[in-house]
C-alpha cells in the first residue's frame, strides 16, 4: 500500500485570526501535507495569513472554505477531533503517536482521514466532537494545557511525518551486518591483541572481556567495518613481532 498525503484533510473550524491559518499552512507544508479545509473562517483570504504562511502560499491557495463542519468532512472515512477537555460522555481517545499510527494505515488503505482543530477560544462543541470516530488529545501540563492551533497542528503532523518515515530511517546501512561467526572472530582478535599489548591480564581479566563482548555486540558493525577492524588489529599484531 502507498501512502497518499492528499488523503489527510486538516480542518480548521471558525478560525478567528487569519494569521493562525497561515501558521497552520506553514506547519502542514513542513510535514508534507497540503489539504486544508476551512469552516467559516472569520477573515480569509487575508494578507495576515499570507504573511505568516512563509513559503506555504500554495497550501493557502488550494484551501477550500466550507459552510459547515459536516460538509468539510463528508468524504472522510475516518475523523479525528482534537480536544483538551474532559467530556460528560467518554469517547475513544488517542494521543498523537497512536493517532499517527492509525492514520498512516488508513490513508495507505486509500481512505480519506479528517483531523479537526477547533476555535482558538473554546475549541469544538460537544456536537462537533461527536462527529469524530476518535478524540485526539495532546498531552500537556495539566496546570496550563494551552496550545495554539498552529502548535497543535505541528505536533500532530510531525507525528504523521515521523511515522511515514520510520522504515526509511532504519535503512541506513550500505553494507550488511557482520554475521555472528565473524563477530566472534573479531572479538577474539581484539581480546588477543589487547593481551599482547598488556592491556588485559589473561590470568586476572576481571570483567573486561565480557564488557568487550558486550560492546561489539551492541555496536553491530557491518561487514566493511568488521574487515577494517580485523585489518587494523592484524597491522598491530605485525608491529608487535
pLDDT digits (tens, 9 = 90+) for 100-156: 999 999 998 899 999 999 999 889 998 999 899 999 999 989 888 889 999 999 999
How far is 161 from 157, CA to CA, in rounded Å? 6
| Enclosing domain of residue 142 | 5-170
Last residue of a domain, which of 139, 170, 201? 170
How far is 136 from 94, CA to CA, in rounded Å? 5
**Which residue is listed with cell 511525518?**
161
pLDDT in tens, 209-241: 999 999 998 888 999 999 999 999 999 999 998
More confidently predicted of 51 and 86: 51
SS3 content of the chain, % helix, strand, coil (to 5): 50, 15, 40
Q: What is the pTM of this model?
A: 0.73
Residues 100 and 120 in one domain: yes
Residues 149 and 189 in one domain: no
Task: Please indicate, yes or no, if residue 175 is contained in any of the structural domains.
Answer: no
Residues 57 and 163 in one domain: yes
* Segment 140-148 long-range contacts (CB within 8 Å, at least 24 positions apart): 140/84, 145/84, 146/84, 147/84, 148/20, 148/23, 148/120
pLDDT, residue 169, reads 47
pLDDT, residue 85, reads 64
Q: 142 phi and psi, to 5 degrees?
A: -60, -25
Residues in the chain: 241
Q: 183 phi and psi, to 5 degrees?
A: -65, -45
Residues 92 and 116 in one domain: yes
| Closest to 148 (Cα-Cα) out of 113, 168, 118, 103 | 118
Task: Please indicate, yes or no, if residue 235 is contained in any of the structural domains.
Answer: yes
Task: Please indicate, yes or no, if residue 62 is contained in any of the structural domains.
Answer: yes
- The cell numbers describing 117, all together, are 482543530
Residues 28 and 146 in one domain: yes
Residues 194 and 165 in one domain: no
Amino acid at each position: 500500500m502507498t501512502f497518499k498525503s492528499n488523503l489527510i484533510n486538516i480542518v480548521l473550524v471558525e478560525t478567528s485570526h487569519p494569521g493562525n491559518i497561515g501558521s497552520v499552512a506553514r506547519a502542514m507544508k513542513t510535514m508534507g501535507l497540503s489539504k486544508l479545509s476551512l469552516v467559516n473562517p472569520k477573515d480569509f483570504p487575508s494578507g495576515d495569513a499570507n504573511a505568516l504562511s512563509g513559503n506555504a502560499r500554495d497550501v493557502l491557495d488550494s484551501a477550500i472554505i466550507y459552510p459547515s463542519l459536516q460538509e468539510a468532512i463528508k468524504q472522510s472515512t475516518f475523523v479525528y477531533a482534537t480536544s483538551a477537555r474532559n467530556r460528560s460522555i467518554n469517547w475513544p481517545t488517542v494521543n498523537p503517536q497512536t493517532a499517527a499510527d492509525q492514520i498512516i494505515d488508513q490513508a495507505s488503505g486509500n481512505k480519506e482521514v479528517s483531523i479537526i482543530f477547533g476555535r482558538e477560544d473554546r475549541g469544538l462543541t460537544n456536537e462537533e466532537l461527536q462527529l469524530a470516530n476518535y478524540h485526539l488529545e495532546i498531552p500537556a501540563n495539566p496546570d496550563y494545557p494551552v496550545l495554539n492551533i498552529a502548535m497543535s497542528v505541528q505536533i500532530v503532523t510531525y507525528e504523521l511525518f515521523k511515522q511515514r518515515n520510520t522504515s526509511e530511517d532504519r535503512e541506513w546501512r550500505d553494507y550488511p551486518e557482520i554475521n555472528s561467526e565473524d563477530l566472534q572472530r573479531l572479538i577474539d582478535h581484539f581480546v588477543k591483541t589487547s593481551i599482547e599489548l598488556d592491556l588485559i591480564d589473561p590470568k586476572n581479566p576481571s570483567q573486561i572481556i565480557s564488557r568487550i563482548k558486550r560492546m561489539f555486540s551492541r555496536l553491530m558493525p557491518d561487514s566493511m567495518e568488521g574487515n577494517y577492524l580485523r585489518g587494523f588489529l592484524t597491522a598491530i599484531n605485525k608491529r608487535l613481532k
